[in-house]
Amino acid sequence: MRTGISITLKPSERRRLKVILKDRNAAQKHVWRAEIVLLSAQGLGTNEIMRRTRKSKTCVWRWQERFMQEGVVGLLRDKTRPSRIAPLGPDVAERVVALTSSPPPGERTQWTAALMAAACSISASAVSRIWRAHGLQPHRVKQFKLSNDPRFVEKLRDVVGLYVDPPAHAIVLSFDEKSQIQALDRTQPGLPMKKGRAGTMTHDYKRNGTTTLFAALDVLEGKVIGRCMQRYRHGEFIRFLNTINAELPAGKTVHVILDNYAAHKHPAVVAWLARHKRFFLHFTPTSCSWLNAVEGYFAKLSKQRLQRGVFHSVVELETAIDRFIEQTNQAPKPFVWTADPRKIIAAVRRGHQVLDSIH
């Protein structure tokens, strides 16, 4: 042992080092460090400790000194080493941020880490760190759509009012069509999921036709009236209105929330409404499909039944949709509106102001 190295263990330190040796979940580097200290405390020389722990002389000396300076705690942590590469200056980060906010060179549509690294003569990992520190994500684009409806506020308050405070003794329906639902059959059968492997499905498919789902969600009860049809013109819309009229209790007023599709305003539809005085149509603002409650039901249908479904014919597809509607109607969930319309109106106005200021 070197001159000046003398390790004497307190009972508490010895117990703690032995616990580390016996702990099966302890890191191996902590185990052999504790072993070096215990062997040193027994008075063994450096060569014998090297033989038993299979470590180099400098390693044994380093951890002997570390224990003498910091105790057991010093064995359980590694000291940070200074980087061999000089840190980037603030001017580099400023340049990366400035370039990220400008269009990339050539015909490219977005900056990549490799492209930015070449432009600034730094590494791609450095670019990623700068982007992360400044909250920049050039690879992501969020979609949006602001309504240009001049009666946006009026229609929004009308629809939200039906959700929050529906008229007494009335039925509120959220209606829409889900068009072009494809009956897709895979070209090869997939494999089931098992441990360590996800389920498989071929990327290509056979298209066996399409159908259109007409659906009306009862906002108060959560039940859905649905019918599958081949087209979605005004004639099919009137047929579905007749279906609703036959299924709902007579004598109750019916308020239907729907979008601005031209078939919903056809003269034949207007004439049908004139003959059925209990029906009232409430149109959502343009580009506001999110305001229609039945869109959430369509998303649920797509995710739980259609997205991974395999259908050999349109009849099989329509049967599956009908079964899904029947099953969800057995445990309906009323629609609850929670958003504040004042906040929505303020957000839309801010969006228009920002667009007007930029463009």
Q: Are residues 264 and 218 in the same domain?
A: yes
Q: Mean pLDDT for each 10-residue chunk of the chain (359 residues)?
A: 73 92 92 93 90 92 91 88 81 94 91 94 94 94 91 95 93 96 92 92 93 96 95 94 94 94 95 96 94 95 94 96 96 93 92 87
Q: Are residues 187 and 243 in the same domain?
A: yes
- The answer to whether residue 354 sits within a structural domain is no
- The answer to whether residue 19 sits within a structural domain is yes
Buried-state track 115-145, b at ≥16 Cβ within 10 A, e below 16: bbbeebebeeebbeebbeeeebebeeeeeee
Buried-state track 43-66, b at ≥16 Cβ within 10 A, e below 16: ebebeebbeebebeeebbbebbeb
Evaluate whether 332 touches 221 at the Cβ level (below 8 Å). yes
- The answer to whether residue 184 sits within a structural domain is yes
Q: Compute the distance between CA of residue 235 and CA of residue 229 in angstroms, rounded to an integer.
A: 11
- The answer to whether residue 139 sits within a structural domain is no
What pLDDT sits at residue 1? 47
Q: Compute the distance between CA of residue 280 and CA of residue 119 in angstroms, rounded to an integer.
A: 61
**Residue 116 belongs to domain spanning:** 90-133
What pLDDT sits at residue 4? 61
Q: Are residues 167 and 316 in the same domain?
A: yes
- In this structure, the dihedral spanned by the alpha carbons of residues 178, 183, 187 and 190, taken in order and rounded to 10 degrees, is 70
What pLDDT sits at residue 77? 87
- The answer to whether residue 168 sits within a structural domain is yes
- Number of domain units in the chain: 3
Q: Are residues 169 and 304 in the same domain?
A: yes
Cα-flanking dihedrals φ and ψ of residue 75, to 5°?
A: -75, -20
Question: Residue 235 sits in a domain of what CATH number?
Answer: 3.30.420.10
